[in-house]
Structure 1
Amino acid sequence: MIEVLSSAALATVQDHGREGYLRYGVGTAGAMDRLALAVGNLLLGNPDDAAGIEIPMFPFRIRFLEDLDFALTGADCAARLGDKPVLPWWTTRAKKGDVLTVGVPANGMRCYLSLAGGVDVPVVLGSRSTQLRGQFGGFEGRQLQKGDVVKAAGLAGRHGHDAAEQGQGAGFGAVPPEHALPAPQCTPSAQPGDTVVRVLPAAEYDCYRAESIDAFWREGWKVTPQSDRYGYRLAGPALEPVRPIEKRSHGIVPGVIQVPHSGQPIIQLRDAQPSGGYPKIGTVIEADLWRLAQARIGTRIRFVQTTYREAVAALEELDAYLLRVRNLIGLVRSSRH
């Protein structure tokens, strides 16, 4: 178990999301950076669908109420366990009473705290993820607050072989995906700190003026302070259609880039509603959503046009990375027995 010592940190319990319920008007929720959470679970030997804690505001502090293995993935937040630094993308053993402080990241937007066995909250509609709009799932359907006690389904508190087994789960790590996966090809005008993601043209792409299409690919789009888990609201040159576009509401998924009447794009994300009527100019490919999740407020996003075949290949690269991580961790664990 852990006790939350921070207030107003907007931290929530998330797993890989609530699949299969869009038809009923229930959004996916789930970790914004699914890749970071997946690696955290692999490092600790957790089930693939185990939940962790997504932390988007810093600093964030917790106290361990029992001995417990944990891992921090996602943004590197210069974390400390007591007065000792904690390596990112690494497994660490906490003792009862230890205080973990997750600091402000030098880059990136979200950090993920994974606990041995996963965060122990009820499964609602097939997922442990917090659905903030509907106020269900996760920890009482809300963000974590100071004083909350969160249970972990780990081996801490047990005795004998199980306790020894958990102790062997710490002291190794994984190469972060930004160093292991090929980056999308940058546009010539991209600047250091820009987030580059690959995009497939969507249904209404050809309904926009040629100069707007050119600006969509050429410009850096600023992530505005109005951005959150529901979507990134971007600022840049207004995108103008050839003629007014009126559409009935239709299904949308995370990654879809919609253009409201203002001409300023909105990228729908994990807490987005499952339907909407704004025209769609593009879709960020699934393999790059983790990159998008780490884009900070005030930084710029650049879109690179891709093809369906390239999008599938990028997803295969991501899967191959996770397989390498899984196999290497398996070798480490087997060598300790």
Structure 2
Amino acid sequence: MTRLIVKQAGPMMSVQDRGRSGLLQMGVSGCGPMDVTAMRIANRLVGNDEGDALIEFAHVGGQFEVSEPVLLAVTGGAVSVTIDGTPVATWESYRLDPGQTLRIGALTNAVWGYLALSGGIRTEPVLGARSTHLRSAIGGLEGRRLSAGDVLPLGATQETALAAPRKILRKPLSRSAGPIRVIEGPQAGHFDEAAWQQFLRGPFTVSASRDRMAQMLDGPKITAAAGHDVVSDGTVMGSIQVPASGRPIVLMAERQTSGGYAKIATVASVDLPRLAQALTGCQIRFKRVSRDHAEDLWIAHTRALDEVLTSLDHGAGATMSEGGMP
């Protein structure tokens, strides 16, 4: 079996796939990647299924070796990547042979990066997925962050795949600088018009209090006239809770399945990766849109991404802007 050897590991490095589904009623969150678009592209660049398990890392990558030849791709943002000291590009596929060393440096314009390897990571699935849920200590490798000395099993890579032309996303994924679009949350009525205007005016700053569970925002305090505490109900990735402190909390991939704070809004799916990748200290604003409009945005994004992935499968270079058409 092909093995990936982790020689050095940055913070928050873990095994992730598309995540678990159908288990929310049992208190098991979906988990999965912080930036699903970057994950899907990384997998297709090396010929994997879109949801195959790969490595997600925050801020800094690491150093890796393999026991058999594989294809690799690094996505997520701008970062220095070398094979035996020779620079290679992100958003492209490359061959890595035994005895060679892959080094991934620090991301400069994003928070979350992805390393996909042909064959996919083949740790044992837990509850139908290989995604690591750190707080529950399930999935991935022993339910924990990766560290130096870890060895991960990979699926087989065919010789035909190794000999095929490299796949290239000709223009790395770009992210618009506009407001983060949101729809009204289940407790939108707890907030009067003055609170909504304050929420939409902002601006908010992405704080250093962030991880795979949630991102806290600094900025104007938002008051829920009808009360901040509610009977606990379900959450989704992108739910924006407002506790009594008035400081918004955006729930992310490893969120709890229910919560008892009023949820003023939910981030539109199309903008979730952009918010997840927003650097600490950067300012954001929110824009309220209808559910129908948010759905139309997601459909357009999905179609555009599908076209990009299809073009990669056919060996053609492709370009894409997140949320836009290729």
Q: Could you say whether these structures have the same fold, taking a TM-score greater than 0.5 normalized by the shorter chain as the test?
A: yes
Amino acid at match of 1:176: P
Structure 1, residues 39-67: CA drift from partner, whole Å, max 9, x if none?
11111221232011001031422123321
Amino acid at match of 1:167: A
Structure 1, residues 14-53: CA drift from partner, whole Å, max 9, x if none?
0111111110000111001011111111112212320110
Cα distance in 2 for residues equivalent to 1:233 and 1:198: 17
CA offset at residue 110 of structure 1? Answer: 0.8
Q: Of 259, 263, 267, which residue of structure 2 is paired with 1:276? A: 259
User: Share of identical aligned residues, percent?
Assistant: 32
Contact 1:250/1:276, CA 8 A, preserved across alignment:
yes
How many residues align? The count is 314
Cα distance in 1 for residues equivalent to 2:112 and 2:191: 34
Amino acid at match of 1:76: A
Residue 231 of structure 2 aligns to a residue in which SS? coil
Q: Of 263, 275, 296, which residue of structure 2 is paired with 1:292? A: 275
Partner of 2:112: 110
Partner of 1:178: 174
Q: What RMSD over aligned residues (CA atoms) do the two structures have, in Å?
A: 1.8
Deviating more after overlay: 163-172 vs 278-287: 163-172
Cα distance in 2 for residues equivalent to 1:244 and 1:2: 51
Cα distance in 2 for residues equivalent to 1:243 and 1:321: 41
Deviating more after overlay: 274-283 vs 125-134: 125-134
Check if 1:165 corresponds to 2:142. no
Contact 2:134/2:143, CA 8 A, preserved across alignment:
yes
Task: Indicate how the Cα distance of structure 1 residues 7 and 50 shifts in structure 2: closer, same or farther if over 3 A, else same.
Answer: closer
Contact 1:69/1:167, CA 8 A, preserved across alignment:
no
Residue 169 of structure 2 aligns to a residue in which SS? coil
Where does structure 2 lack aligned partners over 5 or more consecutive residues? Answer: 317-326
Cα distance in 2 for residues equivalent to 1:243 and 1:133: 32
Contact 2:200/2:287, CA 8 A, preserved across alignment:
yes
Partner of 1:190: none
Amino acid at match of 1:38: R
Partner of 2:225: 242
Amino acid at match of 1:231: A
Greater share of strand residues, 1 or 2?
A: 2
Deviating more after overlay: 209-218 vs 81-90: 209-218
Partner of 2:86: 84
Q: Of 165, 170, 182, which residue of structure 2 is paired with 1:199? A: 182
Cα distance in 1 for residues equivalent to 2:215 and 2:161: 42
CA offset at residue 11 of structure 1? Answer: 0.3
Partner of 1:43: 45
State the TM-score, normalizing by the size of structure 2: 0.91
Where does structure 1 lack aligned partners over 5 or more consecutive residues? Answer: 156-161, 187-195
Q: Of 102, 122, 125, which residue of structure 1 is paired with 2:124? A: 122
Q: Of 248, 254, 257, which residue of structure 1 is paired with 2:237? A: 254
Cα distance in 2 for residues equivalent to 1:122 and 1:207: 44
Partner of 1:3: 5
